Structure 1
Amino acid sequence: MAKSIRKINLRKGKRRIPRGVTHIQASFNNTIITVTDVRGQVVSWSSAGACGFKGTKKSTPFAAQTAAENAIRILIDQGMKQAEVMISGPGPGRDTALRAIRRSGVVLSYVRDVTPIPHNGCRPPKKRRV
Protein backbone atom coordinates (compact mmCIF):
# COMPACT_ATOMS: atom_id res chain seq x y z
CA MET A 1 0.00 0.00 0.00
CA ALA A 2 1.32 3.37 -0.95
CA LYS A 3 0.88 6.09 1.62
CA SER A 4 -0.55 9.32 0.35
CA ILE A 5 1.99 12.05 0.92
CA ARG A 6 0.46 15.39 1.69
CA LYS A 7 2.43 18.29 0.30
CA ILE A 8 2.83 21.16 2.74
CA ASN A 9 3.53 24.53 1.22
CA LEU A 10 5.56 26.59 3.69
CA ARG A 11 6.30 29.73 1.72
CA LYS A 12 5.97 32.74 3.97
CA GLY A 13 4.07 34.86 1.49
CA LYS A 14 1.37 32.33 0.65
CA ARG A 15 0.30 31.16 4.10
CA ARG A 16 -3.03 32.51 5.33
CA ILE A 17 -3.27 32.41 9.10
CA PRO A 18 -6.64 33.47 10.53
CA ARG A 19 -5.78 32.60 14.16
CA GLY A 20 -2.53 32.53 16.08
CA VAL A 21 -0.81 32.57 19.45
CA THR A 22 1.43 35.47 20.48
CA HIS A 23 4.09 34.70 23.09
CA ILE A 24 5.65 37.66 24.93
CA GLN A 25 8.78 36.84 26.90
CA ALA A 26 9.74 39.89 28.94
CA SER A 27 12.99 39.56 30.85
CA PHE A 28 14.87 42.32 32.64
CA ASN A 29 17.30 42.64 29.71
CA ASN A 30 15.20 42.09 26.58
CA THR A 31 11.68 41.48 25.29
CA ILE A 32 11.06 38.72 22.73
CA ILE A 33 7.76 38.42 20.84
CA THR A 34 7.09 35.15 18.99
CA VAL A 35 3.93 34.57 16.97
CA THR A 36 2.92 31.00 16.14
CA ASP A 37 -0.01 29.42 14.40
CA VAL A 38 -2.45 27.21 16.31
CA ARG A 39 -0.24 24.13 15.82
CA GLY A 40 2.76 25.89 17.37
CA GLN A 41 4.85 26.57 14.26
CA VAL A 42 6.59 29.93 14.36
CA VAL A 43 5.24 32.42 11.84
CA SER A 44 7.17 35.53 12.85
CA TRP A 45 9.27 36.79 15.72
CA SER A 46 10.93 39.97 16.84
CA SER A 47 12.91 41.21 19.79
CA ALA A 48 14.12 44.53 21.10
CA GLY A 49 17.67 43.60 20.12
CA ALA A 50 16.61 42.66 16.59
CA CYS A 51 14.92 46.06 16.23
CA GLY A 52 18.26 47.81 16.70
CA PHE A 53 18.26 48.60 20.42
CA LYS A 54 21.52 47.90 22.22
CA GLY A 55 22.58 47.62 25.83
CA THR A 56 20.24 48.98 28.48
CA LYS A 57 17.87 50.43 25.87
CA LYS A 58 16.71 46.87 25.06
CA SER A 59 15.01 46.66 28.44
CA THR A 60 12.81 49.75 27.95
CA PRO A 61 9.06 49.65 27.34
CA PHE A 62 9.50 51.57 24.07
CA ALA A 63 11.79 48.83 22.73
CA ALA A 64 9.16 46.21 23.62
CA GLN A 65 6.49 48.23 21.83
CA THR A 66 8.64 48.48 18.69
CA ALA A 67 9.35 44.74 18.76
CA ALA A 68 5.64 43.91 19.11
CA GLU A 69 4.72 46.19 16.21
CA ASN A 70 7.36 44.56 13.99
CA ALA A 71 6.15 41.04 14.80
CA ILE A 72 2.48 41.88 14.24
CA ARG A 73 3.04 43.79 10.98
CA ILE A 74 3.99 40.58 9.15
CA LEU A 75 0.90 38.81 10.46
CA ILE A 76 -1.58 41.42 9.37
CA ASP A 77 -0.25 41.01 5.82
CA GLN A 78 -0.89 37.25 6.12
CA GLY A 79 -4.48 37.81 7.22
CA MET A 80 -4.45 37.20 10.97
CA LYS A 81 -7.66 38.37 12.59
CA GLN A 82 -7.68 36.69 16.01
CA ALA A 83 -4.92 35.90 18.49
CA GLU A 84 -4.30 34.52 21.95
CA VAL A 85 -1.58 36.13 24.06
CA MET A 86 0.72 34.32 26.49
CA ILE A 87 2.85 36.64 28.64
CA SER A 88 5.88 35.31 30.50
CA GLY A 89 8.41 37.08 32.67
CA PRO A 90 8.67 40.09 34.98
CA GLY A 91 10.25 42.59 32.57
CA PRO A 92 9.30 46.22 32.03
CA GLY A 93 8.05 45.65 28.48
CA ARG A 94 5.22 43.21 29.13
CA ASP A 95 2.36 45.73 29.41
CA THR A 96 3.60 47.95 26.60
CA ALA A 97 3.95 45.01 24.21
CA LEU A 98 0.39 43.93 25.03
CA ARG A 99 -0.90 47.45 24.36
CA ALA A 100 0.90 47.51 21.00
CA ILE A 101 -0.71 44.20 19.99
CA ARG A 102 -4.13 45.43 21.09
CA ARG A 103 -3.71 48.64 19.07
CA SER A 104 -2.77 46.74 15.90
CA GLY A 105 -6.35 45.68 15.18
CA VAL A 106 -5.99 41.96 15.94
CA VAL A 107 -8.85 40.69 18.12
CA LEU A 108 -7.53 39.10 21.31
CA SER A 109 -9.51 36.07 22.45
CA TYR A 110 -7.69 35.85 25.78
CA VAL A 111 -4.56 37.01 27.58
CA ARG A 112 -2.83 34.54 29.88
CA ASP A 113 0.11 35.03 32.23
CA VAL A 114 2.28 31.91 32.04
CA THR A 115 5.19 33.12 34.18
CA PRO A 116 6.66 30.13 36.04
CA ILE A 117 6.22 30.54 39.79
CA PRO A 118 8.09 28.20 42.15
CA HIS A 119 6.11 26.38 44.83
CA ASN A 120 8.91 26.92 47.38
CA GLY A 121 11.48 25.43 45.01
CA CYS A 122 15.21 25.56 45.70
CA ARG A 123 16.64 25.88 49.16
CA PRO A 124 18.17 29.34 49.74
CA PRO A 125 21.84 29.69 50.67
CA LYS A 126 22.75 29.59 54.34
CA LYS A 127 22.72 32.79 56.41
CA ARG A 128 25.86 34.89 56.20
CA ARG A 129 27.71 35.27 59.48
CA VAL A 130 29.90 38.34 59.78
Structure 2
Amino acid sequence: MARQTKRVSSRKVKRKVPKGVVHIQATYNNTIITITDLQGEVLSWSSSGSCGFKGRKKRTPFASQTAAESAIRRSMDQGLRQAEIMMSGPGPGRDMALRAIKTSGLGVSLVRDVTPVPHNGCRPPKKRRL
Protein backbone atom coordinates (compact mmCIF):
# COMPACT_ATOMS: atom_id res chain seq x y z
CA MET A 1 0.00 0.00 0.00
CA ALA A 2 1.64 3.20 -1.18
CA ARG A 3 1.34 6.17 1.10
CA GLN A 4 0.60 9.51 -0.54
CA THR A 5 2.11 12.64 0.91
CA LYS A 6 0.74 16.12 0.56
CA ARG A 7 2.92 18.82 -0.86
CA VAL A 8 2.79 21.95 1.23
CA SER A 9 4.08 25.20 -0.15
CA SER A 10 6.25 26.98 2.40
CA ARG A 11 6.56 30.20 0.44
CA LYS A 12 5.11 33.34 2.02
CA VAL A 13 2.54 35.16 -0.05
CA LYS A 14 3.27 38.87 -0.37
CA ARG A 15 0.03 40.79 -0.29
CA LYS A 16 -0.60 44.41 -1.05
CA VAL A 17 -2.01 46.09 2.04
CA PRO A 18 -2.41 49.88 1.70
CA LYS A 19 -3.60 50.57 5.27
CA GLY A 20 -2.60 48.99 8.57
CA VAL A 21 -2.11 49.38 12.31
CA VAL A 22 1.26 49.81 14.06
CA HIS A 23 1.30 48.46 17.62
CA ILE A 24 4.14 49.76 19.82
CA GLN A 25 4.62 47.93 23.12
CA ALA A 26 7.23 49.79 25.15
CA THR A 27 8.21 48.07 28.37
CA TYR A 28 11.02 49.06 30.70
CA ASN A 29 13.29 46.37 29.23
CA ASN A 30 12.36 46.14 25.55
CA THR A 31 10.31 47.70 22.75
CA ILE A 32 8.24 45.49 20.42
CA ILE A 33 6.74 46.87 17.20
CA THR A 34 4.07 44.80 15.41
CA ILE A 35 2.43 45.92 12.16
CA THR A 36 -0.93 44.39 11.27
CA ASP A 37 -3.57 44.90 8.63
CA LEU A 38 -7.00 46.19 9.63
CA GLN A 39 -8.22 42.66 10.41
CA GLY A 40 -5.33 42.08 12.84
CA GLU A 41 -3.20 39.73 10.73
CA VAL A 42 0.50 40.40 11.28
CA LEU A 43 2.43 41.83 8.32
CA SER A 44 5.78 42.32 10.06
CA TRP A 45 7.26 42.74 13.51
CA SER A 46 10.52 43.72 15.12
CA SER A 47 11.93 44.32 18.57
CA SER A 48 15.02 45.83 20.09
CA GLY A 49 16.29 42.35 20.91
CA SER A 50 15.78 41.04 17.37
CA CYS A 51 17.77 43.99 16.00
CA GLY A 52 20.85 42.77 17.83
CA PHE A 53 20.73 44.76 21.08
CA LYS A 54 21.35 42.85 24.31
CA GLY A 55 20.89 43.54 27.98
CA ARG A 56 20.52 47.16 29.07
CA LYS A 57 20.94 48.44 25.51
CA LYS A 58 17.55 46.98 24.51
CA ARG A 59 15.73 49.58 26.59
CA THR A 60 17.38 52.61 24.93
CA PRO A 61 15.50 54.96 22.58
CA PHE A 62 18.03 54.25 19.81
CA ALA A 63 17.23 50.52 19.96
CA SER A 64 13.50 51.21 19.65
CA GLN A 65 14.15 53.56 16.71
CA THR A 66 16.12 50.81 14.94
CA ALA A 67 13.35 48.27 15.62
CA ALA A 68 10.67 50.63 14.26
CA GLU A 69 12.65 51.33 11.08
CA SER A 70 13.19 47.61 10.51
CA ALA A 71 9.49 46.74 10.90
CA ILE A 72 8.35 49.67 8.74
CA ARG A 73 10.79 48.80 5.96
CA ARG A 74 9.48 45.24 5.77
CA SER A 75 5.83 46.29 5.78
CA MET A 76 6.31 49.01 3.16
CA ASP A 77 7.62 46.30 0.84
CA GLN A 78 4.16 44.76 1.15
CA GLY A 79 2.50 48.00 0.03
CA LEU A 80 1.71 49.70 3.34
CA ARG A 81 1.24 53.46 2.89
CA GLN A 82 -1.12 54.62 5.66
CA ALA A 83 -1.22 53.52 9.30
CA GLU A 84 -2.83 54.08 12.68
CA ILE A 85 -0.52 53.87 15.70
CA MET A 86 -1.47 52.20 18.98
CA MET A 87 1.07 52.80 21.76
CA SER A 88 1.13 50.80 24.96
CA GLY A 89 3.39 50.85 28.00
CA PRO A 90 5.61 53.28 29.89
CA GLY A 91 9.00 52.46 28.33
CA PRO A 92 11.71 54.95 27.38
CA GLY A 93 11.59 54.08 23.66
CA ARG A 94 7.99 54.89 22.81
CA ASP A 95 8.54 58.49 21.66
CA MET A 96 11.58 57.62 19.58
CA ALA A 97 9.72 54.77 17.88
CA LEU A 98 6.90 57.18 17.00
CA ARG A 99 9.41 59.68 15.63
CA ALA A 100 11.05 56.97 13.51
CA ILE A 101 7.68 55.98 12.03
CA LYS A 102 6.84 59.57 11.13
CA THR A 103 10.18 60.16 9.38
CA SER A 104 9.99 56.88 7.43
CA GLY A 105 7.46 58.27 4.96
CA LEU A 106 4.51 56.28 6.28
CA GLY A 107 1.30 58.32 6.50
CA VAL A 108 0.01 58.49 10.07
CA SER A 109 -3.74 59.01 10.46
CA LEU A 110 -4.15 58.37 14.21
CA VAL A 111 -1.97 58.05 17.31
CA ARG A 112 -3.67 56.47 20.32
CA ASP A 113 -2.31 55.52 23.73
CA VAL A 114 -3.90 52.20 24.71
CA THR A 115 -1.95 51.63 27.93
CA PRO A 116 -4.21 49.76 30.37
CA VAL A 117 -5.05 51.88 33.41
CA PRO A 118 -6.66 50.25 36.47
CA HIS A 119 -9.89 51.79 37.77
CA ASN A 120 -8.83 51.20 41.37
CA GLY A 121 -7.54 47.71 40.49
CA CYS A 122 -6.27 45.11 42.94
CA ARG A 123 -6.12 45.45 46.68
CA PRO A 124 -2.70 46.71 47.83
CA PRO A 125 -0.55 44.51 50.10
CA LYS A 126 -0.60 44.91 53.89
CA LYS A 127 1.64 47.57 55.41
CA ARG A 128 5.04 46.28 56.55
CA ARG A 129 5.51 45.97 60.29
CA LEU A 130 9.07 46.09 61.52
Normalised TM-score (structure 1): 0.89
Letter of the structure 2 residue corresponding to residue 29 of structure 1: N
- Please report how far the alpha carbon of residue 21 of structure 1 lies from its aligned counterpart in structure 2 after TM superposition: 0.2
> 1:85 maps to what in 2?
85
The code of the aligned residue for 1:111 comes to: V
> 1:118 and 2:129 equivalent?
no
Deviation at 1:14, TM superposition (A): 2.9
Give the number of equivalent residue pairs: 121
Aligned to 1:6: none
Q: What percentage of residue pairs aligned between the two structures are identical?
A: 72
Gaps of 5+ in 1: 1-10
Q: CA deviation at 1:129?
A: 1.5
Which ranges of 4 or more aligned residues in structure 1 deviate by more than 2 Å? 11-14
**Whose radius of gyration is greater, 1 or 2?**
2
- Structure 2's unaligned 5+ residue stretches are 1-10
Q: What are the residue-to-residue correspondences of 1:1-130 with 2, within 5 Å?
A: 12=12, 14-130=14-130
The 3-state SS of whatever aligns with 1:35 is strand
One-letter amino acid of the counterpart of residue 49, structure 2: G
Q: Distance in 2 between matches of 1:52 and 1:25?
A: 18
Structure 2 residue matching 1:46: 3-state secondary structure? strand
